[in-house]
Structure 1
Amino acid sequence: MSLVLNDGERDRAGARLLALLDDHERGLPTSHLLPDLDRPRLTELLNTPMPDKGIGVDGLFDEIVDTVLPNSTAVAHPRFLAYVLGPPNGIAPYAEAVAATINQNCNFWQLSPAASVIERSVLAWLGDVVGFPSTAGGILTGGGSLATLTGLATALHDRAPDFRATGLQGGGAPLVVYTSEEAHRSVDKAAVVLGLGIDHVRHVPTDDRYRMRVDALAEAVAADRRAGLRPFCVVATSGTVTTGSVDPLDAIADLCEAEDLWLHVDGAYGALFLLAEEKRELLGGCARADSITLDPHKLLFASLEAGCLLVRDAAKLRAAFAFSSSYLTVADDPLMTDYMDHGLQLSRDFKAFKVWSALRAFGVDAFREATERCLDLARHLGERVEATPGLDLLAPVVLTAVCFRMRGVDHTEVLATLAAEGTALLGPALVDGHDGIRVCVTNHRTTKADVDLIVDRLRELGKSDDVAEGVLVS
């Protein structure tokens, strides 16, 4: 049986796909945020053996429509606000289809010449947003965690010149990395994967705005040097995952220069707010980083996965990851980049295409406007919380994360109620020991009416004794 669709099957698959995309778009405002799981059907799906005979195009699309879609979370719903996860932009499904059709392996340029140039172009565009020089380079990754891992590996190779030959087995003094108490767990995970160990990650205290204290950082570095350890890297955060706080990047950069430390900025959440004029001063210190994590699948609303690492000096990234192999050798071309020499992967999909396609289709101004709208909505939410009796802000609204508490209620039950009735999917927060609720407005579909609906419902629930196990008792 052929693995190529015939003319009739292609026509049918195209028609079914277009109908699916149209139905999905039109149904979003009334869709269920969380699916009412059909556990028997999912169990049947799990237990179905690998089929010897196929079910054809229509059979497959029937299963997608009947089983996959009804049991999937509606991340594009305008009141899906629990996580830093926006909906994909409108061109994403079409760009993904093209990328799958040409199936470029973005490792060395001979297998993907146009893709190599497009990724290089996207990285240059993002470098311009950050303020990096023309010497910068980078790579598109599966997300912020992998970008941070790649950035720390680059730092290790640069600040421990014997690292490629001996790794952590060379017998030198232990290497130490510094980050804040509010840092993303990917920093700890990277330290474990790279063999540094959690014991050699210093979680620096934060101030009353949840920003890394530079005085405490300086003290920690000095103490480790006195103990004979090797400080080598600081991971600052532009947009902490809970409150959206931004570390004092310029002051940290000054310290890193004085102490000869690599500065990596985890900007997975917040760095692309540089698109908004109002945040450029706050985030301007990103330009001083040695490396930075960005997430196009957040504020550029690319479909998953699309993370990014940028390194100020591209040669240092290549020095960390380039290995020679005769069977992969191809002539150098000044127009092209062999991305197998810039990261962990050999086989790589064409992640840059969906980012490039969206920027080409919509223009960067559309993303600036979406970013500014998200900031405006977060401010509006913070103002509504402060003006509503029974609600208390737990942290300043710096970017688009809004953390607050409700007096006299169980936050877990409130969150379950909001999700069960379809009002909104919000998340829990723990801020300075206080339980609360977290709303993160990184959704280009969210409107002011959505924000007001949520606050009005919270006010009702705050006055009610009927919140129980996610269901309102009537």
Structure 2
Amino acid sequence: MLRMSELVLTDEERARAGERLVALLDRYERGLPESRLLPEPDRDQLATLLADLVPEKGIGVDGLFDRLENTILPNSTTVAHPRFLAYVLGPPNGVAAYAEAVAATINQNCNFWQLSPAASVVERAVLEWLASIVGFPATAKGILTGGGSLATLQALATALDDRVPGFRRTGLQRSAPPLVIYTSVEAHRSVDRAAAILGIGVDHVRHITVDDQNRMDVDALTAVIDADREAGLRPWCVVATCGTVATGSVDPLDAIADLCEEQDLWLHVDGAYGGLFLLCEEMRELMRGAARADSISMDPHKLLFAPLEAGCLLVRDGAKLRAAYAFDSSYLTVAEDPLMTDYMDYGPQLSRSFKALKVWSALQAFGVDSFRVATRRTLELAQHFARGVEATTGLTLLAPVTLTAVCFVVDDASHSDHTKLLETLAAENTALLGPVMINGRHGIRACITNHRTTTEDIDLILARLREVVASRQR
């Protein structure tokens, strides 16, 4: 077959690419249990990627797949390994690669609906489902983002537009009291980053102390807000956390919502880690106050196991989200349609990928109940890990296990000892765990957000930790 374009595969090449791709995906899946968690990078191989960055002549389908299999895959971290437990990062679900391929094939630009009618409805369906999980009213609107950090940034930009008169016209170029944001000392650094980007300034972010369960102290929050008002500053927004990164603690959302209502403060809930545990009925009471937030961020690329990137911002009053981002553009205008949404009016991007397809496809293929089961299993495995730590003389939990972060220390071990232990566990391919510091104490953190992890994996890690403790006691 003759090529119709230099950039289109022939029938034979397309068949060969499909054959190679299916074989690659199959080998990768089958090889996960024995794969290296952290491969030793082959620097010579990686250097060839720079040397051959833009070849004049292409290497063809087989040449490309050879490079993928011989250079890219062997030098990539195996995040889908069942004992990859260092971060709040789960492996993609089984249908994800296929959904991503379809999204790349049709290449919808999800900005205004004429360019992506089906995508517009799919994203709306996903967002309305997520809003229903939180308990938001029908007035809620949202948008899929690159992740929780961008969702928080976009939420605070929405709050500025809503709570600061004239902000859209003048920005912060005005004579007025400085605005102040409140969050906890355990909050994600994306809050500080958003304050810096938006011109609020990190000096105007108050990091409130926490209680013995690492939750924001509401009395301390109230006192700091009162002191700022007395000093002539303007309290404006509180960012509460539904699942802190270090310990998985959940701030007292109802009490914080009460305070925000009394003081007319915007309440954003960072639920990037923990928000989707609302899928589990047993977690709904703990997280009930999330439904009272003005905005909430969640990450489908965590507990819905979508491939990166798939974050989400939901705003209780969707009109406020649109008011912050919508601008008239005559060359982009199409007739409004009650079924469709122009997502360019709900966020800062114009060109947007079809992120919703991978989320929607997994929900269609597996059903919501499968995600409830997988999510509940991570909670159960974390408790199993915690019980194993508590039952082991020489290991001590550093914090209560609220969600799936298990933080612990080897008794009498130094920070250097813990670092070396983490390196050893990774080098011998036992597990990839991470460091943590809680209340000034350095320790180890396992975060179980991996749908492939089993009880046997946790028991293997615990057995190895017991060997380490026993060797220190000899």
Report the AA paired with residue 276 of structure 1: C
> Is 1:91 paired with 2:95?
yes
Report how far residue 48 of structure 1 moved. Answer: 2.2
Shift of 1:209: 0.7
Letter in 2 for 1:429: V
Secondary structure at 1:53's aligned position in 2? coil
Aligned mates of 1:49, 1:91 — CA distance in 2 = 31
Distance 1:192 1:96 in 2: 33
SS where residue 362 of structure 2 aligns?
A: helix
Residue 137 (1) aligns with residue 136 (2)? no
Aligned to 2:183: 179
1:32 alignment partner, SS class:
coil
* Residues 1:75 and 2:82 are matched in the alignment: no
Q: CA deviation at 1:408?
A: 3.7
1:464 to partner: Cα distance = 2.5
1:471 alignment partner in structure 2:
none
In structure 2, what is the equivalent of residue 417 of structure 1?
Answer: 424
Paired residue secondary structure (2:74): helix
Root-mean-square deviation (CA), in Å? 0.9
Give the letter for the 2:435 counterpart.
P
Alignment of 1:322-333 (within 5 A): 322-333=326-337
Separation (CA, whole Å) in 2 of partners of 1:305 and 1:210: 29
- 1:29 aligns to 2:36 (yes or no): no
Residue 442, structure 1, aligned to residue 449, structure 2: yes
Counterparts of 2:159 and 2:308, CA distance in 1: 27
Instruction: Please state how far the C-alpha of 1:465 moved relative to its aligned partner.
Output: 5.6
Q: Which stretch shows the higher mean deviation, 46-55 or 178-187? A: 46-55
User: What residue identity is the alignment partner of 1:277?
Assistant: E
Q: Tell me, in whole angstroms, the C-alpha distance in 2 between the residues paired with 1:41 and 1:301.
A: 30
The 2-side partners of 1:283 and 1:22 are apart by: 39
Aligned-partner residue type, residue 72 of structure 2:
V
Q: 2:309 pairs with 287, 305, 310, which one? A: 305
Distance 2:240 2:180 in 1: 14
* Matched-pair identity in %: 72
Pairing partner for 1:319 from 318, 323, 327: 323
Alignment-mate amino acid for residue 425 of structure 1: L
Structure 2 counterpart of 1:101, which letter? T
The amino acid that maps onto 2:8 is V
Q: What's the offset of the Cα at 1:114?
A: 0.4
Aligned equivalent of 1:453, options 450, 453, 460: 460
Residues 218-274 of structure 1: CA distance to partner in whole angstroms, max 9, x if unpaired? 111111111111111100000000000000000000000000000000000001101
TM-score (norm 1): 0.97
- The number of residues matched between the two structures is 466
Q: Distance in 2 between matches of 1:384 and 1:268?
A: 27
Question: 1:138 aligns to what SS in structure 2?
Answer: strand
Task: Quote the residue 1:156 is aligned against.
Answer: 160
Equivalent residues in 2 for 1:194-209 (5 A)?
A: 194-209=198-213
Q: How far did residue 463 of structure 1 move?
A: 2.4
2:267 corresponds to which residue?
A: 263
1:49–1:275: structure 2 CA closer, same or farther, 3 Å change rule?
A: closer
Structure 1 position 49, deviation (Å): 4.1
Q: Deviations over 1:55-108 (max 9, x none)?
A: 000000000000000000000000000000000000000000000000000001
- Aligned residue number for residue 470 of structure 1: none
Q: CA deviation at 1:43?
A: 1.4
Q: Which runs of 5+ in 1 are unaligned?
A: 467-474
Structure 2: distance between partners of 1:34 and 1:315:
46
Alignment of structure 1 residues 338-357 onto 2, 5 Å: 338-357=342-361
5 Å-filtered alignment, 1:7-406, equals 7-406=11-410
**Deviation at residue 47 of structure 1 after TM alignment:** 2.4
Say if 1:408 and 1:462, in contact at 8 Å, map to a contact too.
no
Question: After TM superposition, where is structure 1 displaced by more than 3 Å over at least 4 residues in a row?
Answer: none
CA distance in structure 1 between the partners assigned to 2:169 and 2:446 by the alignment: 46
- Provide the rounded CA distance (Å) in 2 between the counterparts of 1:171 and 1:277: 48
The letter for the 2-side match of 1:454 is I
SS of corresponding position for 1:404: strand
